[in-house]
Amino acid sequence: MFQRFLDVILSTVVLLLSLPFLLLVFVFGVRLFLSHRLGVFQRPFTLYKLKTMRDPLPHEDPYLSESKRITPLGRWLRYFSLDEWPQWWNILKGDMTIIGPRPLPVDFLEHISQQYHLRFQVKPGLTGWAQVNGRNALSFERKLELDCWYVANRSLLLDLEVLLRTPLAMFNNQINPERAPGPWRQKKV
Protein backbone atom coordinates (compact mmCIF):
# COMPACT_ATOMS: atom_id res chain seq x y z
CA MET A 1 0.00 0.00 0.00
CA PHE A 2 2.81 2.42 0.93
CA GLN A 3 4.75 1.48 -2.21
CA ARG A 4 1.75 2.27 -4.43
CA PHE A 5 1.22 5.58 -2.64
CA LEU A 6 4.88 6.47 -3.20
CA ASP A 7 4.65 5.38 -6.87
CA VAL A 8 1.62 7.64 -7.48
CA ILE A 9 3.09 10.68 -5.71
CA LEU A 10 6.56 10.43 -7.29
CA SER A 11 5.33 9.63 -10.80
CA THR A 12 2.87 12.53 -10.69
CA VAL A 13 5.56 14.97 -9.58
CA VAL A 14 8.13 13.66 -12.09
CA LEU A 15 5.66 13.77 -14.99
CA LEU A 16 4.52 17.30 -14.16
CA LEU A 17 8.08 18.60 -13.73
CA SER A 18 9.30 16.88 -16.90
CA LEU A 19 6.46 18.11 -19.12
CA PRO A 20 8.63 20.89 -20.68
CA PHE A 21 11.38 18.32 -21.46
CA LEU A 22 8.90 15.91 -23.05
CA LEU A 23 7.35 18.70 -25.13
CA LEU A 24 10.82 19.73 -26.29
CA VAL A 25 11.80 16.23 -27.45
CA PHE A 26 8.47 15.91 -29.26
CA VAL A 27 9.21 19.23 -31.03
CA PHE A 28 12.50 17.66 -32.21
CA GLY A 29 10.55 14.81 -33.76
CA VAL A 30 10.90 12.12 -31.10
CA ARG A 31 7.75 10.05 -30.77
CA LEU A 32 6.49 7.43 -28.36
CA PHE A 33 7.43 3.82 -28.91
CA LEU A 34 4.94 1.27 -27.57
CA SER A 35 6.10 -2.20 -26.60
CA HIS A 36 4.17 -5.16 -25.22
CA ARG A 37 5.82 -6.31 -21.99
CA LEU A 38 5.23 -8.84 -19.24
CA GLY A 39 4.00 -7.45 -15.94
CA VAL A 40 3.26 -8.97 -12.57
CA PHE A 41 2.02 -12.58 -12.86
CA GLN A 42 3.04 -12.46 -16.56
CA ARG A 43 0.15 -10.16 -17.45
CA PRO A 44 0.94 -8.22 -20.62
CA PHE A 45 0.86 -4.42 -20.64
CA THR A 46 1.91 -1.63 -22.99
CA LEU A 47 5.21 -0.03 -22.05
CA TYR A 48 5.92 3.55 -23.15
CA LYS A 49 9.36 4.72 -24.28
CA LEU A 50 10.75 7.51 -26.40
CA LYS A 51 11.53 6.23 -29.89
CA THR A 52 15.29 6.46 -30.41
CA MET A 53 15.73 4.63 -33.72
CA ARG A 54 14.51 5.41 -37.19
CA ASP A 55 12.35 2.87 -39.00
CA PRO A 56 14.22 0.69 -41.49
CA LEU A 57 14.17 1.98 -45.05
CA PRO A 58 12.29 -0.15 -47.63
CA HIS A 59 15.54 -1.67 -48.99
CA GLU A 60 17.02 -2.33 -45.51
CA ASP A 61 16.84 -5.49 -43.47
CA PRO A 62 14.16 -4.85 -40.79
CA TYR A 63 16.48 -6.47 -38.23
CA LEU A 64 19.36 -4.12 -39.06
CA SER A 65 21.65 -3.52 -36.13
CA GLU A 66 20.36 -0.82 -33.80
CA SER A 67 23.72 0.94 -33.99
CA LYS A 68 22.96 1.63 -37.66
CA ARG A 69 19.42 2.92 -37.01
CA ILE A 70 19.79 4.91 -33.79
CA THR A 71 19.47 8.66 -34.30
CA PRO A 72 21.98 11.14 -32.81
CA LEU A 73 19.29 12.48 -30.45
CA GLY A 74 18.27 8.89 -29.70
CA ARG A 75 21.84 7.99 -28.72
CA TRP A 76 21.90 10.94 -26.32
CA LEU A 77 18.49 10.03 -24.85
CA ARG A 78 19.58 6.42 -24.32
CA TYR A 79 22.91 7.37 -22.77
CA PHE A 80 21.16 9.31 -20.04
CA SER A 81 18.29 6.74 -19.91
CA LEU A 82 15.86 9.51 -20.83
CA ASP A 83 14.21 7.24 -23.41
CA GLU A 84 12.74 5.45 -20.38
CA TRP A 85 11.11 8.64 -19.02
CA PRO A 86 7.56 7.88 -20.33
CA GLN A 87 7.57 4.78 -18.11
CA TRP A 88 6.69 7.11 -15.25
CA TRP A 89 3.25 7.02 -16.91
CA ASN A 90 3.31 3.21 -16.60
CA ILE A 91 4.11 3.66 -12.90
CA LEU A 92 1.24 6.12 -12.44
CA LYS A 93 -1.14 3.71 -14.21
CA GLY A 94 -0.05 0.86 -11.93
CA ASP A 95 1.58 -1.35 -14.60
CA MET A 96 5.00 -0.82 -13.05
CA THR A 97 6.66 0.35 -9.87
CA ILE A 98 9.81 2.40 -9.34
CA ILE A 99 12.01 -0.51 -8.22
CA GLY A 100 11.68 -4.07 -9.49
CA PRO A 101 12.90 -6.35 -12.26
CA ARG A 102 12.87 -4.62 -15.67
CA PRO A 103 9.84 -5.60 -17.78
CA LEU A 104 10.61 -8.16 -20.46
CA PRO A 105 9.08 -8.27 -23.96
CA VAL A 106 6.15 -10.70 -24.17
CA ASP A 107 7.93 -12.96 -26.66
CA PHE A 108 10.78 -13.55 -24.18
CA LEU A 109 8.54 -15.70 -21.97
CA GLU A 110 9.08 -18.84 -24.04
CA HIS A 111 12.86 -18.45 -23.59
CA ILE A 112 12.82 -18.13 -19.80
CA SER A 113 13.37 -21.24 -17.74
CA GLN A 114 10.78 -21.96 -15.03
CA GLN A 115 13.44 -21.38 -12.37
CA TYR A 116 13.37 -17.65 -13.21
CA HIS A 117 9.59 -17.19 -13.03
CA LEU A 118 9.93 -15.86 -9.49
CA ARG A 119 10.67 -12.47 -11.09
CA PHE A 120 7.02 -12.27 -12.18
CA GLN A 121 5.74 -12.27 -8.58
CA VAL A 122 6.31 -8.51 -8.34
CA LYS A 123 5.57 -5.57 -10.60
CA PRO A 124 8.33 -4.70 -13.03
CA GLY A 125 10.32 -1.60 -12.20
CA LEU A 126 11.89 1.43 -13.80
CA THR A 127 15.16 0.42 -12.14
CA GLY A 128 16.22 -2.73 -10.38
CA TRP A 129 18.93 -4.84 -8.79
CA ALA A 130 20.31 -6.03 -12.15
CA GLN A 131 20.54 -2.43 -13.40
CA VAL A 132 22.69 -1.30 -10.49
CA ASN A 133 24.86 -4.44 -10.65
CA GLY A 134 26.05 -4.29 -14.23
CA ARG A 135 23.16 -3.14 -16.38
CA ASN A 136 23.87 -3.89 -20.05
CA ALA A 137 27.22 -5.53 -19.34
CA LEU A 138 25.39 -8.54 -17.87
CA SER A 139 24.24 -11.59 -19.77
CA PHE A 140 20.50 -12.12 -20.04
CA GLU A 141 20.71 -15.12 -17.69
CA ARG A 142 22.69 -13.15 -15.09
CA LYS A 143 20.05 -10.40 -15.15
CA LEU A 144 17.37 -13.04 -14.51
CA GLU A 145 19.39 -14.45 -11.59
CA LEU A 146 19.75 -10.97 -10.06
CA ASP A 147 16.04 -10.29 -10.60
CA CYS A 148 15.11 -13.46 -8.72
CA TRP A 149 17.58 -12.66 -5.95
CA TYR A 150 15.94 -9.24 -5.60
CA VAL A 151 12.43 -10.71 -5.39
CA ALA A 152 13.52 -13.26 -2.78
CA ASN A 153 15.34 -10.64 -0.68
CA ARG A 154 13.44 -7.42 -1.29
CA SER A 155 13.03 -5.01 1.57
CA LEU A 156 12.75 -1.29 2.13
CA LEU A 157 16.50 -1.15 2.79
CA LEU A 158 17.31 -2.99 -0.46
CA ASP A 159 14.97 -0.70 -2.40
CA LEU A 160 16.71 2.30 -0.87
CA GLU A 161 20.10 0.90 -1.94
CA VAL A 162 18.84 0.41 -5.51
CA LEU A 163 17.42 3.92 -5.55
CA LEU A 164 20.70 5.44 -4.34
CA ARG A 165 22.85 3.41 -6.76
CA THR A 166 20.68 4.06 -9.82
CA PRO A 167 22.10 7.49 -10.79
CA LEU A 168 25.63 6.05 -10.77
CA ALA A 169 24.55 3.16 -13.01
CA MET A 170 22.71 5.55 -15.35
CA PHE A 171 25.69 7.79 -15.96
CA ASN A 172 28.49 5.26 -15.83
CA ASN A 173 29.38 4.90 -19.50
CA GLN A 174 31.98 2.30 -18.55
CA ILE A 175 29.07 -0.15 -18.39
CA ASN A 176 28.20 0.30 -22.06
CA PRO A 177 30.48 2.78 -23.82
CA GLU A 178 28.76 2.22 -27.19
CA ARG A 179 25.68 3.98 -25.84
CA ALA A 180 27.62 7.16 -25.11
CA PRO A 181 26.72 10.06 -27.39
CA GLY A 182 29.17 12.36 -29.14
CA PRO A 183 32.11 13.46 -26.97
CA TRP A 184 31.21 10.97 -24.22
CA ARG A 185 31.63 7.95 -26.50
CA GLN A 186 34.74 5.98 -25.70
CA LYS A 187 37.00 5.03 -28.56
CA LYS A 188 37.52 1.33 -29.18
CA VAL A 189 41.13 0.31 -28.70
Q: For the segment 112-134, what is each residue's pLDDT rounded down to a tens digit?
A: 999 999 999 999 999 999 999 98
* Domain total in the chain: 1
Predicted local distance difference test score (pLDDT) of residue 168: 86
**Which range has the worst mean pLDDT, 23-32, 37-46, 51-60, 95-104?**
51-60
Q: Is residue 178 part of a domain?
A: no
Q: Is residue 179 part of a domain?
A: no
Return d(Cα 119, Cα 152) in angstroms, integer. Answer: 9
Q: Is residue 130 part of a domain?
A: yes
Mean pLDDT of 86-107: 96
Q: Is residue 188 part of a domain?
A: no
Mean pLDDT of 136-152: 93
Q: What average pLDDT is seen over the chain?
A: 87
Q: Tell me which H or E stretch contains 32.
A: strand 32-38
- Return the closest-CA partner of residue 162 out of 138, 187, 189, 128: 128
Q: For strands 97-99 and 125-127, give the pairing.
A: parallel
Predicted local distance difference test score (pLDDT) of residue 187: 40
CB–CB of 151/119 below 8 Å? yes
Domain that holds residue 146: 2-173
Mean pLDDT of 71-80: 88
Predicted local distance difference test score (pLDDT) of residue 2: 85
Q: Is residue 42 part of a domain?
A: yes
Q: Is residue 189 part of a domain?
A: no
Q: Is residue 109 part of a domain?
A: yes
Q: Is residue 115 part of a domain?
A: yes
pLDDT of 157 strictly over 50: yes
pLDDT above 90 covers what percent of the chain?
Answer: 63
Helix (H, G, I), strand (E, B) or coil at 37: strand
pLDDT of 38 strictly over 70: yes
Mean pLDDT of 72-97: 93
Return the number of other C-beta atoms located less than 10 Å from residue 58's C-beta: 6
